[in-house]
Chain A
């Protein structure tokens, strides 16, 4: 900017506010996929006149028809409603299993990074300790010990997944702590805790949110893997991993019984990854 322009800018009335940055195509596509899943999960089962858990052994393994659009499974349950009903299990559980460790990990990482010294040593060593175990084995042990089910899955996932958030936030906070605006805030007399909460943490969060998106994908995969192995969500509740496992014996004749839930997991994963990537692009712009 030339001097004259700079000068007049300082004296002129405030220019019109710029519009918000437009969302990137990737972000839009990802949000669409997530939106469709949520809509399907909320309204889908209401529109179908079936009970997802009630078996009807006489009409088992039917091919797709006008009545059962995706046919029936090995216990004669409508397959489509089970597929949609599973959204109500997989999505909230995966989100919770990412959200709880996000809160815990971000808090611990922020404290460790900002205050350093003993807090940093404790948090970092604890993170090392958790990370030293193979993820799936550790999860299996924890879920096994607590008994399978959504709650114990969320607790077990939180016990492990906080590490990623803590490391991420710690690094960001270490970087931000040395920034001039933090020193400026300190100079104005703001207490340290307030600086951390209102100035440092908000600047560290974008990275966390992006990581959260990929973590949800991970949690859907982990949840369905555990259910596939039989220690996740228990039957008869519809859950994608469980459904893949149940569809496996019929791969030759009824391939869609295993493929469709797999597809549901995959598309959901792609959608959330796109949100994560898109957010990243959007922040960088």
Chain B
């Protein structure tokens, strides 16, 4: 049976793509440096981070209370403070100086000061002020002290008010409603315990995927250009179709490796460590496929500029931490200037982090993450075109280099 021209072309194309893919896999597999980046980093980092942040929240913050009042009422307040999960009253001192020197020695992380007139003020129906001094060293210390003291204070206020109103002749029920005319219902959507790992880890995982893809592609390309005397990329033929096949093959290799890694990082790790995981497998695939593709083509486009093995690593370390901040998970986007909002749009990780957090933590469905998913496909397309243009541009350079430098003629097709 005679194959049609189109069929022959198709099978040649497929063959070339497969060959390019296998070659890339071979290069990754024989390079210990790249293997460590692709396998060890995505596998070990999530586990390591999960253990580092395992305690999740700050409990029993050591706090000193300066009790100027020294009455039964102030002691009751201190007891309530100590009973909160956030605060552990480790010492009660008569003077502020003593508390501050304990703070300097790092024995305590916050100070609560009760005024001398505390119980007499309350008895006489005057307003009294309790001061809390928080350590700004760590945001979480500050948060623990403030939420512990406000909880106790609001509660004490309510009790005092109810008691006073009842003394004034109201029934318990009337006093209750007078003191608290509204019921406030506080609903944290996602991460109700405010666990730190749940804040940081999902975003870090997405970033690790993108950064190691770019790094690995860059190192493979940089090594190739180091090895070859003319410092060129390996492409056999200079036709545009050939470039596309080469790129597709390379991309397929990384896609294959990273789809397995993504399932591990974004499905198995959250399951193991109990991070919110409200997305099913199908939703994960729909979000992560364009993310992987756009990161891969982003890396391929960038790889044209690497002339040695080391430069991708420099870029990796330069960008990783700023990208975490640029994503908007640490610093809210509403505080960004237009410049940084625009820079943020360049990187696939920004969309993927938001998309993944929305799906896994808030149980957003595919239509609610539509903006992120379509952005990722748009970036895939742009990066793909960019990679093709840059690669074929290199090819023309290479062709002229070979002609002048080595006197080798290339077949034209």
| A and B interact | no
| B residues apposed to A, CB below 8 Å | none
